Homo-oligomer: A and B are copies of this chain.
Amino acid sequence: VEGIFRLLRERGGRITSARRALVTALLEADSHVTADDLARTVQESNPDVHRSTIYRTLEALERLGVVGRVHLGHGRAVYHLADEVHQHLVCDRCGRVTEVPDAAFDDLTRGLRAAYGFELLSHHFAVLGRCSGCV
């Protein structure tokens, strides 16, 4: 929380009310929120904050490694705090999103490293399939 602001300041960034509101919104959000979700939340307290500011701030936070950007489908990107390490299983049929701890991917990580020298960083994209309710 304050760590984020400290990080921003250290890099010559400034703490504005828009940024404060955005970080708060990110902390309050239950994972995967779209830029639009965030814009709406921020605008509840700071009505004048423009969508472009949301995008620019998210970009800045992404550069700091504080937030991650993920694609859960064929539409908008979603953002999440970078310390929430988990994967998203998205149901093809009903759209339900299941969060899975990163550990479920450990074997895959090891396998790709061994076979391809590929170091799996983060899954910026969702894993598609059918959830238990949709068979």
What is A's interface to B at a CB cutoff of 8 Å? 69, 71, 74, 77, 89, 91-92, 98, 100, 104-105, 107-108, 111-112, 115-132, 135
A79 → chain B, closest Cβ, in Å? 12
Residues of B near A111 (CB, < 8 A) are: 104, 107
Chain multiplicity (copies): 2
Contact in complex: B130, A112 (CB < 8 Å): no
Measured CB to CB, the nearest residue on chain B to A117 is: B132
A118–B104 touching, CB < 8 Å: no
* A77 lies within 8 A of B77 (CB): no
Given the interface pairs A118-B98, A125-B71, A127-B125, the reply to whether A107 lies near B104 with Cβ below 8 Å is no
